[in-house]
Structure 1
Amino acid sequence: MTLAEKAGQLSIYSDPMRIGTRRQINPDAGPKIDNGLAQRIREGRLIGLFNGVGAAEGRALQRLAIEESRLKIPLLFGADVLHGFATVFPIPLGETASFDPGLAERTARAAAIEASANGIHWTFAPMIDIGRDQRWGRVAEGAGEDPYLGSLFAAARVRGFQGQRLSDADSLLACPKHFVGYGGAIGGMDYNSVEMSEQTLHEVYLPPFKAAFDAGALSTMSAFNDLNGVPMMAHRPLLTGLLREQWKFRGIVVSDYTADRELVMHGVARDDRDATRLAILAGVDISMQSDLYNLHLPSLVERGEVPMAVVDEAVRRVLRVKKLLGLFDNPYRSLDPVVEQRDTHTPAARSLARESARASIVLLKNEGQLLPLRKSSQKIALIGPFGADADNLAGPWSPFSDMKDAVSLEQGLRAVLRDPASLKVVKGCDPEQIIRGGLDEAVAAAKAADIVLLALGESQDMSGEAASRADILLPAVQQALAEAIVDVGKPVIVLLRNGRALALEGAVRDASAIVVTWFLGTETGNAIADVLFGDHSPSGRLPVSFPQSSGQQPFFYGHRNTGRPQTNPKDPYWKTRYRYVTHEALFPFGHGLTYSQFRYGEPEVGSGKLAWDGAITIRTKLTNIGTREAEETVQLYIHDRVASLTRPVRELKGIQKLKLAAGASRVVSFKLTRADLCFYDAAMNFIAEPGEFEVWVAPSATAGTPKVFVLEGSPLRP
């Protein structure tokens, strides 16, 4: 291969030919290759294209590479397929509320089948950044605040995308992103710097990546952020030292969109040429969109500033992945128009979309058992900007969604009501703007109703990339609408559409019932109706803590105790808390109600001793003491009472979902070993220390009564 051809295999560009998305999902940057695309392909000056779709058109582009280029290296087609393709599943944060990694694996598999049928080989997903500051817009794309839960979902989504074999026509190469620490952006501001300890990096932000690579992911995307002053695009200790040398990762690393060029603005590169040198030497194999590798790698090698061996190894990795994808054996895999027609918008995908949307819904509050609703004998007012809305069902990062047959909230409710005319729908306001006369019309509708559904929250452009928010309250116009409606005096159920945890206040916070519906995708209305009217008991749990105030951010359950912990929430002085806001969540991580009630027995820890190389079984009896069958999510947490470094007040170490009939009981068991108790000490050794540990079996991160067990020392330890 010539140097130019090698640089081409390390360069990828937005597809200018195939109709992909009309949504603005990236800035307008990089070269314009519309007119020169065919020639670039013939000259082998690109690895492939991204965010263009269409089997027939992709086949035509692939033909140029296979029949008209010198080396006949097939193109690789990538796309941002995060939570569905044409059929849209809940946003990843919402789906994580299911606490069911198996469900996430199934939706990723369905997305892979649909996307690969439309000419895609590679998805830039899953996004597995831990999100502990709800101001950050990209919380919506991930799995929430907890590294244990995040690791389970990272591995599940990789398995779903990639399927049984990468070479299968319906397999998508997974790309866990963004490596690494992006979720720790200071102030929750997108693209911002990250400052964190080595312990936090290795205990919180890296575990989901390790889980994803262990599950078979063979690509990853480097992050935009700098980490403790070193931009990830130039971070050789992590991209090469940790990823390749320690973890033995054999896949490819792709830059985020023009992130190599941004090394200049970071202030670590003199110019684009210097940025190219830093990125390739750090371990970034592929330049996305900027064209820097094509422009500068050949001269950098010729002048001895970049060893040829570094470029050769990056190219070998790219070619190896293409081979594993089966592209050398069948360059036209996933480019069959017949399969495209057959596997897009299938009934099976649609059914799964409804199931996953239902499982994602979280019931936060249900005073007086206001829910479930009856399907007859009551007048319902559906008030708010998201009642009849069809423009904000998919949520952020769904660029290929085909929502023409998506089900709005209004449509879903009318479909199950025995008298559809008993539902009155009034907008009241736009998501962030007043509608003239809208408030008066909404109040009149509330007065005429027996019960009010308030459909409030975020539009889909308020979450996702470049959508950080300085506060996470509802927009003022929606809050004013809620206050006016609650003043009418009718029972009110708040239905939240959101891509992050929100700080609820006033009438919304005090409503009799609150339901978190996230962005649920294609089957939004049907799924919400299934839950509201009791055809399915809600089973979702919060993967992020809902704070009392925006000012608590970053806020997460696994904080450290401090030397002056809040022991009495009524005491505002000399403790770790704010003056008017206690150091507690409004609704904690793991919280979620069902239409039944469960009683947890006292945890049993056997002898209370965990041998150094042994295991301990934690048991408790779970009983459905309500009148309906329901599914409970049982959670296991631990706390290291005395350690050489301060430890989180709780750490999630196990989850189990159990469906129990009314009156039924079951013993729930969890097993712990020394490996579950390990942490990074001051010298960055991954160790467990003998001593006492508290353990909870509980329905949330703040519930339950702990029991104590002891990790016994190793016979070899002094």
Structure 2
Amino acid sequence: MKFCTALCNRHDMTPTYFLDSFLCFVCCLAISGSPLLSAQETKTERPWLDKSAPLDQRVDSLLAEMALEEKVGQLTQSNGIGGEATGNTKNLVADSALYELIRSGQLGSILNEINVTTVNEFQRLAVEESRLGIPLIIGRDVIHGFRTIFPLPLGQAATWNPEMVEQACAIAAREARSAGVGWTFAPMVDIARDPRWGRIAESFGEDPYLASSLSAASVRGYQGDDLSNSDSIAACVKHFAGYGAAEGGRDYNATMISPSTMRNVYLPPFQAAVDAGVATLMCGFHDVNGIPMSVHKQLLSNVLRGEWGFEGFVVSDWDSIFETIEHGSSKDERAAALAAAQAGVNMEMSSPCYRKNLTELVTSGQVSETTVDELVKPILRVKFQLGLFEQPYTEPDAAKILLSQEHLDAARKVARQSVVMLKNESSVLPLDKTILKKIAIIGPLADAKRDQLGTWIPDGKEADSQTPLAAIRESAKNNEIEVLYASGLVDDLDRSTQGFAEAVATAEQADIVVLIVGERANISGEARSRATLDLPGAQNELVSTLAKVGKPIILIVQAGRPLTIGKQIEAVDAVLYSFHAGTMAGPALADLLWGIESPSGKLPVTFPKSVGQIPLYYNHVNTGRPPRPYDFAKDKRVDDDFDVELGYNSNYIDVGPYPLFPFGYGLSYSTFTYGDVELSATKLRSGEILAVRVPVSNSGKVAADEIVQLYVRDLVGSLTRPVRELKGFRRIQLEPGETSVVEFALPVSDLGFFNNDEERVLEPGEYEIFVGGSSLAPKVGTLEIVE
């Protein structure tokens, strides 16, 4: 009210205030964004509102005015009251307890509120009715799009295209900010080596180099060049750290990670995000070697802030500080608050341990107020960087940008690049429009609008989805090709075979069958771990039944994780794998089927033949008795017979030790020829750079993209080293017959690693170099590192 009265008096208007209709806010917008106070008042009464002052000075001047209770309030986050993003006439339902926390300056953030009217009312309470007028930061899970849904992060990783990932995140940020959201709990950069873990869908896969590249790209996309821009939101890299190593792939479970593995595998994507300037970070639910992450001082304080110089703030995961009691790490809420504060968690999500206990912990001398100050400062800094003190409100009509054609076109392009072709027997793809008369579209996911969006889409709408069935029908229409349809199953979990007869009859009428199967959206993601990775329901039986019809079958799999589909792949002619590809999944898949664009995705994670092989990842160590050398072309058996004559090596006796498909694998409608690789040196020292040059030619008949991959192997180390490690990749587009010389600059320092004393070392010795189109790339040379 103070703000409104000041504005009205300054402009000779009568102060008017109507909460329900929100006329006050609209009035304020009409007055050209007039400041809360005059420039002179800003500098004298509230110097932190002086935008020209240095950032740290603004933070310090505000902190000096804050009471202890207000400081603790900034460390507290509460859930919102719900509501759609649109609907500026929503009737606000007063939540007296929440409102009073805001008015009294004892709340720093609200999550899960995207109704613009409600968000603006929350901000009005904070800015105009609290003592110091500190705005709230509004958080939301914007994981792979806001309203325009892009492929799952695992699908985005399959593009191997940081520029496209950055663009997708920038569009998500633009749409989210239009609803008042200033902060997303993304990207998730946990290294995921276990497809049983449901949250592999949110990850960038199993490799630290690829995940680090995409982690930094996501941060740049969400945050842009300036957080205060209306197109930018604060990113929150999560879940620090090692969450993807949860035992058995069971969500929220314990992890046991050696110091060297934590440093070499799980931490690099987080450090890449910090180096890219990420504003916030979330600690995980899990424990690491017996210490819950919400109270893990070594990682949160010593590594994150001490070594890496992280200046943003750390938020707990939902209730995770409180849950240290269930872990058996904290006796009660008071002990949990004490441990988390001492570890360096700045903001508590949802649970009230800080709000109820931190003030008393300070007055009793167990926590110094200086410690609280150091927790508050980064939160204030991010709020200043977001420009919330200058513009806390969101324009009610900003949401008009949702689902713009520009956004949909970008989603379609990312979706196309995210699809991985795993098989194309006899070049059955792309479809030939000149000879086809009838196409049968069969399967429970052919027209499943909600399921193609994938997990974690709180603001995505089923009605926005363009499905494969609809897109194929539309694209076939102009070529006078008849599209037949039968679902075969009611949905992906259906175990009944009653619909098989119709599916078979439909297939028999067609020239070719496009069979679309997979996982529904809600069996991947958080708390969606699976003990088996087969196609659910009776989908396996549907594939085998249709295979007996004798028509060419193109299998499209839409899923949130790798599935064990070896038998199904053997039964069909071609396979396109789509990690839930979002709003524009249908048009993207249609584009690939018709050859408008060639598939170019590469697997960001290894596909096992059997659940019993897990964990299975390409960058494993060799062991003293490794299995036979890997020949992927010859090792495609799925149902191996028992073989007890393999010798005393690291083998299974009932299935081969190698994957169904390796990391980095993916086919194209074209073929690529790699020429002789040139290395700039055979011996180098620390501080020098190895240049790698390789000519790559499109030896096929269509324009296509290839992802050229560079791997190394340290042959002898003080710790056993991975058999291969990705150290570079380039996406190139080539016309038929075109050759491009791809160059990599590999710093010798990138060949170093952390030992179990957590020291980074670069050891002299031999390193093998591999270049090609997957993690099975051939050896092209050897480099010796000398002292």
TM over 0.5: yes
Q: Are the counterparts in 1 of residues 543 and 571 from structure 2 also a CA contact under 8 Å?
A: no
SS at match of 1:623: strand
1:98 Cα deviation after fit: 0.5
Residue 392 (1) aligns with residue 457 (2): no
Work out the CA distance in 1 between the residues paired with 2:364 and 2:686: 56
Between the aligned partners of 2:745 and 2:354, the Cα distance in structure 1 is 50
Structure 1 pair 265–481 and aligned structure 2 pair: CA distance change class (3 A): same
Instruction: State how far apart, in whole Å, the 2-side matches of 1:522 and 1:34 are.
Output: 35
Matched, 1:433 2:494: yes
Give the drift of 1:20: 6.0
Residue 438 (structure 2) aligns with? 379
Correspondences of 1:686-697 after superposition (within 5 Å) = 686-697=760-771
Q: Which residue of 1 aligns with 2:337?
A: 276
C-alpha distance in 2, partners of 1:361/1:111?
20
Letter of the structure 2 residue corresponding to residue 351 of structure 1: D
- Structure 2 unmatched runs, 5+: 1-65, 87-92, 636-644
Distance 1:362 1:155 in 2: 23
CA deviation map 1:125-159 (0-9, x unaligned): 11111101111000110100000000000000000
8 Å contact from structure 2 (residues 437, 480) kept in 1: no
Q: The residue matched to 2:470 in structure 1 has which SS?
A: helix
Distance 1:584 1:64 in 2: 60
1:406 to 461, 465, 476: 465
Aligned counterparts of 1:33 and 1:204: Cα–Cα separation in 2: 47
Instruction: Please say which of residues 523-532 and 290-299 is displaced more in the overlay.
Output: 290-299
CA RMSD of aligned residues (A): 1.7
Matched letter for residue 452 of structure 1: V
Conserved in 1, the CA contact under 8 Å of 2:497 and 2:538?
A: no
Where in structure 2 are the equivalents of 1:212-611 lying within 5 Å? 212-332=273-393, 335-341=394-400, 343-375=401-433, 377-417=436-476, 418=478, 422-429=482-489, 430-435=491-496, 437-568=498-629, 572-611=646-685
Q: Distance in 2 between matches of 1:524 and 1:674?
A: 41
**How far apart are 1:420 and its partner, in Å?**
6.6
The structure-2 alpha-carbon separation of the partners of 1:51 and 1:568, relative to structure 1 and needing over 3 Å to count, comes to same
Range that drifts further, 647-656 or 5-14: 5-14
Aligned-pair distance for 1:508? Answer: 3.4
SS of 1:667's equivalent?
strand
Is 1:131 the counterpart of 2:192 in the alignment? yes
2:727 is aligned, of 650, 653, 673, to 653
Q: Percent identity of the aligned residues?
A: 43
Shift of 1:466: 0.3
Q: CA deviation at 1:421?
A: 6.3
- Secondary structure (helix, strand or coil) at the match of 1:547 reads coil
Give the letter for the 1:473 counterpart: D
Q: Distance in 1 between matches of 2:698 and 2:540?
A: 37
For 2:183 and 2:340, locate their aligned partners in 1 and report how far apart those are by CA, in whole Å: 22
- 1:646 deviation in Å? 0.6
Structure 1 residues 436 and 650, CA gap change in structure 2 (3 angstroms): closer
Query: Where does the alignment leave 5 or more consecutive residues of structure 1 unmatched?
Result: 22-31, 714-718
Tell me the SS of whatever aligns to 2:131: coil
Q: Distance in 1 between matches of 2:357 and 2:756?
A: 42
8 A contact 2:690–2:748 mirrored in 1: no
- 2:144 aligned partner: 83
One-letter amino acid of the structure 2 residue matched with residue 12 of structure 1: Q
- Greater shift, 65-74 or 207-216, is seen at 65-74
The answer to whether the aligner puts 1:14 opposite 2:79 as a matched pair is: yes
The one-character-per-residue Cα deviations of 1:31-84 (angstroms, maximum 9, x if unpaired) are x99342222211112112111113332112211111111121111111000111
Q: Indicate the residue corresponding to 1:705 in structure 2.
A: 779
One-letter code aligned to 1:463: S
Q: C-alpha distance in 2, partners of 1:122/1:458?
A: 30
Q: Is 1:626 equivalent to 2:700 in the alignment?
A: yes
Matched with 1:24 is none
Is the 2:201–2:560 contact (alpha carbons within 8 Å) kept by the matching residues of 1?
A: yes
Task: Please identify, of 658-667 and 521-530, the stretch whose mean Cα deviation from structure 2 is larger.
Answer: 658-667
Query: 1-side partners of 2:255 and 2:696: how far apart?
Result: 42
Large movers: runs of 4+ above 6 Å:
none
Q: Is the 8 A contact 1:17 1:34 kept in 2?
A: no
| Structure-2 separation of matches of 1:218 and 1:136 | 27
Matched residue type, 1:245: G
Shift of 1:546: 0.8
C-alpha distance after superposition, 1:98-125 (max 9, x if no partner) = 1000100011111111100111110111
Aligned to 1:28: none
Answer yes or no: is 1:73 the counterpart of 2:142. no
CA distance in structure 1 between the partners assigned to 2:480 and 2:443 by the alignment: 18
Deviations 1:396-443 (A, max 9, x none): 011101232320110110111035761111111121113462111111
Aligned-partner Cα distance in 2 for 1:700–1:17: 46
Deviations 1:270-312 (A, max 9, x none): 1122111111111111111112211111112122222221112
Shift of 1:476: 4.4
Change (3 A) 1:490 1:436: closer
Counterpart residue identity of residue 585, structure 1:
P
**Cα distance change, pair 627–393 in 1 and its aligned pair in 2 (3 A):** same
CA contact (8 A) 2:496 2:538 kept: no
Q: Any conservation in 2 of the 1:457–1:474 contact (CA below 8 Å)?
A: yes
- Residue 143 of structure 1 aligns with which residue? 204
SS in 2 for 1:453: strand
Contact persistence 2:517–2:555 (CA under 8 A): yes
CA contact (8 A) 2:450 2:465 kept: no
Measure the CA separation in 1 of the matches of 2:82 and 2:509: 54
After superposition, the C-alpha distances for 1:607-631 in whole angstroms (9 at most, x for unaligned) are 4222333222122221111111111
TM-score, normalized by length of structure 1?
0.95
Which amino acid counterpart does residue 16 of structure 1 have in structure 2?
I
Alignment check: 8 A CA contact 2:560 2:579 kept: yes
Kept in 2: contact 1:9–1:318 (CA 8 A): yes
Instruction: Indicate the structure whose relative CO is greater, using CA pairs within 8 Å and at least 6 residues apart.
Output: 1
- Shift of the 600–208 alpha-carbon distance from structure 1 to 2, 3 Å rule, reads same
1:358–1:530 Cα contact (<8 Å) kept: yes
* Aligned partner of residue 205 in structure 2, secondary structure: coil
Q: What's the secondary structure of 1:431's corresponding residue?
A: coil
- Tell me the number of residue pairs that the alignment of Structure 1 and Structure 2 aligns: 700
Instruction: Tell whether the 8 Å contact from 2:444 to 2:488 is kept in structure 1 after alignment.
Output: yes
User: Which amino acid in the other structure matches residue 379 of structure 1?
Assistant: K
Aligned to 1:517, the other structure's residue is in SS state strand
2-structure distance, mates of 1:285, 1:611: 42
Q: Per the alignment, in what secondary structure is the counterpart of residue 446 of structure 1?
A: helix
Q: Is it true that 1:56 corresponds to 2:117 in the alignment? A: yes
Q: TM-score, normalised by structure 2?
A: 0.87
* Equivalent position of 1:191 in the other structure: 252
Letter in 2 for 1:59: N
Q: CA deviation at 1:512?
A: 1.5
Structure-1 separation of matches of 2:419 and 2:739 = 25
594-603 or 157-166: which moved more?
Answer: 594-603
Q: Which residue of 2 aligns with 1:29?
A: none
- How far apart in 2 are the matches of 1:508 and 1:693? 36
Render the CA deviation track for 1:497-554: whole Å, top value 9, x for unaligned: 0111111132334421111111111111100000110000111100011111111111
Report the CA distance shift for 1:40/1:613 in structure 2 as closer, same or farther (over 3 A). closer
Question: Separation in 2 of the partners of 1:617 and 1:589?
Answer: 24
Paired AA for residue 755 in structure 2: D
Are the aligned partners of 2:455 and 2:522 in contact in 1 as well (CA < 8 Å)? yes
